[in-house]
Amino acid sequence: MITYNPKDWFSFIFKFHKADTFRELFPLIIGIGIYSGIIAYLELHYFKLSDTSHVKNIPIMHGLLGFVISLLLVFRTNTAYDRWWEGRRQWGALVNCSRNFAVKLSAILTEKEDKIFFKKAIPHFAQTLNLHLKDEKITHELFKEYNINVEHKKHKPNQLVKLMSKKLFELKRQNKLTDENLLFINPELTSFLDICGACERIKNTPIPFSYSVFLKKFIFFYVMTLPFGYVFSLGYYTIPVVIFIFYVLASLELIAEEIEEPFGNDENDLPTAQIAENIRKNIEEIL
C-alpha cells in the first residue's frame, strides 16, 4: 500500500508511480489517438461531410449516454471501494481480537510455557491468513514444533485455530483453566475464523461477470463513436479530447478493478503483511 500525505495534493499532478493507470493505458491511448486522427481525416477530407450532415447530431447522443455511463462508473467505484474498506475493517478487527485474546490469556495463564505457545500461535494466525489470502506458500513451523502433520491440509487458518482450541482444552483438563475462563476467552477465538471467512468472501466473490463485461463494452463503444460527431466542431482537436475522455473513463474502471481485490501485492492493496507484523509485536509485548 502506498503511504502519502493527503494534504500535499499539488505534487500528485506531476508524479507517476508504478500503479499509475497512464502507464497501463499508454498503448491504448496511442491507438485511440491514431483511430481518432483517421476518422477526422476521412470525415473532413475524404468524405467531405458538411456541418449539415446528420453525423453532427451524434454529440446529442453522447450527452445522453454520458449521463448513463457516469452513473454506472459511480456505482462501480463505490462497490469496489466498499470491498477494499470491508477488507480493512476485517483486518482491523483481527488486530483487536488478537490483542484482546492475548490480554485475557496474560491475565489467566501463570506458566511461562503456556504463554510462549500463544505468543507464537496468535501472530502466526495473522501471518498465515495474509499468505492464505494471497495464495502464497505457507510454512509449517508452528505445526512441526508441536508434531502435527498438516502437509495435506489445505486450509491452514482452520488448522491454527484448531491447534489453539486444542491447547485451551488441554489446559482445562490440567485445571489451569476453568469453565468460566473458557467462556471468557471463546469470543476472541471464534472471531478469528469469522474474520477469515469474511476475507475469503471478499476475495472469492468478484463483481458479477455480466456487469463488468457490459461496462467495458459500453466504454469502448462510447469512446469509439466520439470522433464521428465532434470532428465538425473541434476539427483535429478531437484527437486530444477523445484521448482525455478515454483516459478518464478507462482509469476509473482500472482503479475499481485493482481495489476490489484488496488482498494482493499491488501498490493499492491492503498492507496485510505489515498489519500481521504489527500484531506480532503487540502480542510479544503483551505476553
- The CA distance from 131 to 223, in Å, is 40
Per-residue pLDDT reduced to its tens digit, 225-278: 888 878 877 888 999 999 999 999 999 999 898 899 999 888 888 999 999 999
Residue 158 shares a structural domain with residue 222 = no
CB distance 218 to 48 below 8 Å: no
Provide, rounded to the nearest whole percent, the portion of the chain with pLDDT above 70: 84
Which DSSP string corresponds to the chain? -----TT--GGGGG---TT-HHHHHHHHHHHHHHHHHHHHHIIIIIS---TTSGGGGHHHHHHHHHHHHHHHHHHHHHHHHHHHHHHHHHHHHHHHHHHHHHHHHHHH---HHHHHHHHHHHHHHHHHHHHHHTT-----HHHHHTT---TT-S-HHHHHHHHHHHHHHHHHHTTSS-HHHHHHHHHHHHHHHHHHHHHHHHHH--S-HHHHHHHHHHHHHHHHHHHHHHHHHHGGGHHHHHHHHHHHHHHHHHHHHHHTSTTSSSTTS--HHHHHHHHHHHHHHH-
Residue 183 shares a structural domain with residue 129 = yes
- 7 within a domain of the structure (yes/no): no
Residue 120 shares a structural domain with residue 198 = yes
Per-residue pLDDT reduced to its tens digit, 1-39: 666 666 666 666 666 655 578 888 899 999 999 999 998
- What pTM was computed for the model? 0.85
- 264 within a domain of the structure (yes/no): no
Residue 238 shares a structural domain with residue 131 = no
- The CA distance from 112 to 176, in Å, is 12
Crossing angle of helices 238-259/21-41, nearest 10°? 150
Residue 73 shares a structural domain with residue 123 = no
Residue 170 shares a structural domain with residue 276 = yes
- 129 within a domain of the structure (yes/no): yes
Crossing angle of helices 58-108/272-286, nearest 10°? 20
Question: Domain range spanning residue 245?
Answer: 22-84+207-259
Range with the lowest mean pLDDT among 25-39, 48-62, 87-101, 146-160? 48-62
pLDDT reading at 51 higher than 60: no
Residue 125 shares a structural domain with residue 217 = no
- 114 within a domain of the structure (yes/no): yes
- The CA distance from 271 to 230, in Å, is 45
Per-residue pLDDT reduced to its tens digit, 123-141: 999 999 999 999 888 776 7
Provide, rounded to the nearest whole percent, the portion of the chain with pLDDT above 90: 56
Which triple of cell numbers denotes residue 67? 449521463
- 190 within a domain of the structure (yes/no): yes
Residue 47 shares a structural domain with residue 175 = no
Residue 196 shares a structural domain with residue 220 = no
- 70 within a domain of the structure (yes/no): yes
- The CA distance from 287 to 283, in Å, is 6
What does each C-alpha distance from 33 to 47, 178, 194 come to in angstroms?
20, 73, 50
Residue 185 shares a structural domain with residue 211 = no
Residue 281 shares a structural domain with residue 170 = yes
Q: Give the chain's domain count.
A: 2
pLDDT reading at 101 higher than 70: yes
Place of cell 476475507: 199
Residue 133 shares a structural domain with residue 235 = no
- 14 within a domain of the structure (yes/no): no
Confidence label for 150 from pLDDT (cuts 50, 70 and 90): low
- 3 within a domain of the structure (yes/no): no
